[in-house]
Structure 1
Amino acid sequence: MGRHRRGARREVTVADLIDELSRFDPNLEVRLAVQPRLPQEHLVGAVAEADGMVWIGEGGQQGYAPDEVGEQLGWR
């Protein structure tokens, strides 16, 4: 999700995100991983619609993500 086969970025839609998340246990907590070289763990904040898009706010850094996160996201 978020990249074409050749590595070019693409826009992610609400439907893409719902489809991707539907694979997981709905009781699991959600975090954002940012900064591929040293993944940080951030809470998900408020969600809003503006300017024809859905925005997911960042709810604060919680520390650093485990090494497995970078591997699973294809960052390593």
Structure 2
Amino acid sequence: MAIWPNQIDTVGDLQDALEQYDRATPIRWAAQPGNPFEYTIGPVVRTPDDADGDGTEHHDPPVVWLGERDQVGYLPDLAANALGWSQ
């Protein structure tokens, strides 16, 4: 199994990393390597475009955000091993 490089900086990087997997495969977010949990992914937004309009002009570059939805539980050992987080 090829492991994607440790850095994904753009939407294109993420798309490239995911293209090898079946689109119907469930997706989770793993966080906190020292005490790993798994989460479902919530809203996906882009700022400043998806932010509430306050009438001011924004000059910040656009950023895509993946929101956390639900904590599923502790990350399974198999996933922690695959991520290189095993202790």
TM-score by length of 2: 0.72
CA shift, 1:2, in A, is 3.7
Distance in 2, Cα, partners of 1:2 & 1:55: 18
Question: Which has the larger strand fraction?
Answer: 1
Matching residue within 13, 28, 31 for 1:31: 28
One-letter amino acid matched to 1:28: T
Identity of matched residues, %: 39
Q: Which runs of 4+ in 1 moved over 4 A?
A: none
CA shift, 1:38, in A, is 2.2
Distance in 1, Cα, partners of 2:6 & 2:47: 20
Unpaired runs of 5+ residues, structure 1, are 4-10
**Matching residue of 2:51:** none
One-letter amino acid matched to 1:17: L
Of structures 1 and 2, the one with the larger relative CO (CA 8 A, separation 6+) is 2
Corresponding pairs, count? 69
Alignment root-mean-square deviation, CA = 1.4
The 3-state SS of whatever aligns with 1:75 is coil
CA shift, 1:59, in A, is 0.3
Matched, 1:60 2:57: no
CA shift, 1:46, in A, is 0.4
Unpaired runs of 5+ residues, structure 2, are 49-61
The 3-state SS of whatever aligns with 1:24 is coil
TM-score by length of 1: 0.81
